[in-house]
Amino acid sequence: MRSTSAFTLMEVMITVIMIGVIATLSLPRLTGLLEKARAEKATNNLKSIHAAEKRFKLDDPLGEYFPKSCNNAAADTLQEINAGLGLSTRDSGFTYRIKATGLCSGSPASRRSLNYTITAERTAEGPCAGKVITMTEEGGEPSSDDCSIW
């Protein structure tokens, strides 16, 4: 008599159900980890833009930040920011913006882009959609809207 070893239908079904339960339980955690990684990337991009702003001001003859502002100028796309600051930052999950403010009165030599705010707004769908990470010319750690995952 030949002995064959095989799984019964019941054993296979139980195994498939267990794998499904494990996947269902781990999926939210995986989503949270991915969102946290995206926010970390955006934070690092803001720090790179901040460092490029400091270099831009040092190289600028008038000591201004980018975008040069007397009228609350803004760079509204990452492409504009990259071109203006000589960066090659890429990120499809956030919309980046620099808003510069300055003094508009007085002689041209006294007109300066004195302050700027860099923002990264989460554009993709998910638990943090629409949330914003912000950094100013003062530096330090970027601050963010309250997103429980970040």
120, part of any domain: yes
* Domains contained in the chain, number: 1
- By the 8 A CB rule, do 66 and 82 touch? no
Interatomic CA distance for residues 100 and 95, integer angstroms? 17
Residue 24: inside a domain: no
User: Is the pLDDT at 124 greater than 90, yes or no?
Assistant: no
* Backbone angle region of 63, left / alpha / beta, with phi > 0 → left and psi within -120 to 50 → alpha: left
Q: Is residue 100 part of a domain?
A: yes
> Is the residue at 87 inside a domain?
yes
Whether the per-residue pLDDT at 111 is higher than 60: the answer is: no
Contact 45, 88 (CB under 8 A): no
Q: CA angle, corner 85, sides to 100 and 77, nearest 5? A: 65
138 vs 110 pLDDT, higher one = 138
72/30: higher pLDDT: 30
pLDDT at 46 over 90: yes
